[in-house]
Amino acid sequence: MSRPSDHIDSRPQTPQAGVVQPKLGVTGWLRWFWRQLTSMRTALFLLLMLAIASIPGSLVPQRTSDPNGVTQYFSDHPDLAPILDKLQAFDVYTSAWFSSIYLLLFISLIGCVIPRTKHHFQALRAKPPTTPARLARLSGFTTRDAPAQTDAATAITHARTVLKSSGYRVARFDSDTESSVSAERGYLRETGNLVFHAALVGVLVTVGFGGGYGFAGQRVLVEGQTFVNTLLAYDSFNPGRFFDDTTLDPYTLSLDDFSVSYEQRNLQAYGQPIDFTADVTVTPKGETSEPGVVKVNGPLRTNGTNIYLLGNGYAPTITVTAPDGTVVFSDSVPFLPQDANLTSLGIVKVPDGLAEQLGMIGFFYPTQDKMDTGANFSSYPDLEYPLLTLNVYTGDLGLDDGVPTSVYALTTDDLTQQTGGTTGVDSIELKPGASAELPNGLGAVSFVDTNPTASATGDFTQSVPRFASFDIHHDPTQIWLISFSALVLFGLFTGLLVPRRRVWVKATTRADGSVHLEYAGLARGDDPALEAAVTAVADRHLKLLKTHQPAVATPESPPKR
C-alpha cells in the first residue's frame, strides 16, 4: 500500500528537515559536566583510579612514613630517584594528582547523595501508588474467593491489617464496585544506600582531613632509659599537616625490662621467637607512675597515644678511654639485627677527646660460632656466648660540617682503617667485661658487663642490655573512622538484603453478592521471593477472614405437639 502524499516519509529529505540540536552554551556544558561527575559510573571509576593511584605508595618509600628509606633510595638509584621525585612518587598521598582524584571522588559522592536524599524523603512522605487496573499482569498474581457473608469493604479492612502487621505502608482506595489496598515496603533499602554513600564521604573526610591532626613518632629505648613526650625527644617524627606540637600531652616512658621467649622444644623451629614483652613505666605530668606492658599486636594506650612495639635487639655498653684514663665515650649502643639469630651491626663515633676522631664498625654475636672459613656468626639469638668485634677507623667523621648523618652508618671513604680488612691487624674481639688497646696508642675500648657476677658462672643472660623500638602514634580520628566504617557496612548489607516490594489486594463484588479477591506484587529489581510473599499475604488474609466471619443464625425447631 502506498503512503499518502502528506506522510513524513514521502516528503523530500532536506537538511532543514533534520533535527537541529540547540547549542549548549556555558551553562549547558557546566550542567552536563556536573551530571557526569555525580553519576554512579563516575564515582566507581574514581574509586578505581584512587586504588590505582595508591600503588606507587607501596612500591617506593614515602617521606611521611620512611624518610630514611627515601634517602637510601636516592643513594641506591641516583638517576631514577630525581625523576620520581618530580612526579611526587615519594609523596604519593599528598601529591597534586592523588589529591585531585580524592577531591573529585569527594565531590562526586556529595553530588550523588544530596539529590537522592531529597528524593528519598519525598518518597517516604508520599502515599503508596494507586492500585493498577489489571493485577493479572503483575508478578505473583493469585486469586481467592472470600468466605460467605464477607463484603468487599470488610475484606479490604482485614487485608490492610495483615499488610500493616508485615511492615508495609498502606493506602486504601474504594469505589462503588470494588475496594483495594496498596502497600509498599523496603524503603530501608534506599536508606541503606544513602547511609552507605554518606558514610563513605565521612570516611574520606576523616582520612583526608582528620588525619592531619595526628602524628607518628619513633624512639629507640635501651633498658633503663626514659623518654619524655616532647618534640625534640623523638628519633624521627612525622606530624600531620594540621598538627600543633603544643598539643603534645607530656608524660615519660621508661623501659624497665625487655624479655624474649625462644622456642627450645621443637627442633624444626629451634631459636624462633615466641613472645616479646616490654615492661614499661608511664608517668603522666603531675600524676603517679603506672606500670604497663607493650607487646607485638598489643599496643599500650596512654595519654591519647598508642605505643606500638616495632623492633628490638642488643645494645652493648661500650666505653672508650683516652691514654690518660679519661672516659671520652660511654654508652649502650643499639646494634641493628642482620639475621634471625641477631647477628647485629653497630656504629660507634668518638669525635672528641682523642688525638684523632675515631669511628668503629662493630658486629655483635649473641652466641658466637665460627664457620669453616673462620668467619664469625651467631648460632642462637639469646645470650649464650656473646662476642663483640670492632673494626677501627680514624680521620674526619664529617660531624663538623653541619650536615646531618645517621647514627647507624659510618662513611669510610675519607677515613683510615686501622684494624681488620687488608690492614694486617686483627679486628678487636671483646667478651663482656673485657678491654683492648686501640691502635696507635689512641687509648682503650671496653665491653662493659652489666651483670659480672652472673657472667662469672657462665650465665650471660643479663650481661648485655636490650633495646626496643617504639612507634608512638596519635590519631584523633580513630573513633570517627570506626563509626563511619560500621555505617558503611550497615548501609551495604541493608542495601543488599532488604527487598523493595509493592503488594496490592483488590476485592470485587460479583453480581451474586460474593466477593472475589485478587493479590499481586511488584519488586524493584530482582526479588525471587516475591511470589512466595504474595501467596503468604493471601493465605494470612483468608485465614483472618475466616476467623472473623459473622455467625449465621440457625432457625428454631417447630414446637412439638
Q: What are the Cα distances from residue 8, in Å, to 1, 5, 143?
A: 15, 8, 48
Residue 334: helix, strand or coil by DSSP?
Answer: coil
The HSE-up count of residue 550 (CA atoms within 13 Å, CB side) is 8
Strand pairing partners for 257? 279
Helix (H) or strand (E) holding 143: strand 139-145
Q: What distance, in Å, lies between the first and last C-alpha atoms of the chain? A: 90
Residue 456: helix, strand or coil by DSSP?
Answer: coil
For the four alpha carbons of 394, 395, 400 and 403, in that order, the dihedral sign comes to negative
pLDDT digits (tens, 9 = 90+) for 391-401: 999 999 888 77
Instruction: Judge residue 152's burial from the number of C-beta atoms within 10 Å of its C-beta, 0-12 exposed, 13-18 middle, 19 or more buried.
Output: buried
Which among 365, 356, 358, 362 has a CA at the least distance from the CA of 329? 358
The domain segmentation of the chain, as residue ranges, is 29-112, 127-186+499-548, 214-312+470-476, 317-466
Determine if residue 374 is left, alpha or beta; phi over 0 gives left, psi from -120 to 50 gives alpha, anything else beta. Answer: left
Q: What confidence score (pLDDT) does residue 556 get?
A: 52
Cα(444)–Cα(59) distance, integer angstroms? 46
How would you write 5-49 as a 3-class SS string?
CCCHHHCCCCHHHCCCCCCCHHHHHHHHHHHHHCCHHHHHHHHHH
Cα(279)–Cα(293) distance, integer angstroms? 5
Q: What confidence score (pLDDT) does residue 558 get?
A: 54
Cell of 529: 521471593
Q: What confidence score (pLDDT) does residue 6 get?
A: 55
> Mean pLDDT in runs of 10 for the chain (561 residues)?
53 55 78 84 87 88 76 84 90 86 87 85 86 89 89 92 92 88 90 88 82 86 94 87 85 94 85 91 91 92 91 94 94 93 94 92 94 90 94 89 78 90 90 94 94 86 92 88 92 88 92 90 87 92 84 51 49
For the four alpha carbons of 17, 19, 21 and 22, in that order, the dihedral sign comes to positive
Cα(533)–Cα(522) distance, integer angstroms? 11
Helix (H) or strand (E) holding 479: helix 478-497
Q: What confidence score (pLDDT) does residue 94 get?
A: 80
The answer to whether the beta carbons of residues 214 and 196 sit under 8 Å apart is: no
The answer to whether the beta carbons of residues 364 and 387 sit under 8 Å apart is: yes
Cα(432)–Cα(448) distance, integer angstroms? 6
Which among 188, 194, 199, 124 has a CA at the least distance from the CA of 498? 188
Q: What confidence score (pLDDT) does residue 113 get?
A: 85
Query: Model-level pTM?
Result: 0.67
pLDDT digits (tens, 9 = 90+) for 313-358: 999 999 999 999 999 999 999 999 999 999 999 999 999 999 999 9
Q: What are the Cα distances from residue 542, in Å, to 148, 167, 453, 532, 535?
A: 12, 18, 93, 15, 11
CATH 3.30.310.80 at 127-186+499-548, yes or no: yes
What radius of gyration, in Å, describes the C-alpha atoms of the chain?
40
Q: Please state the length of the chain.
A: 561
Strands, E, within 263-340: which ranges?
273-284, 290-295, 300-302, 305-314, 317-321, 327-332, 336-337
**Which positions ≥6 away from 255 have C-beta within 8 Å?**
221, 222, 223, 224, 225, 226, 278, 279, 280, 467, 468
Grid cell 621443637 — which residue? 266
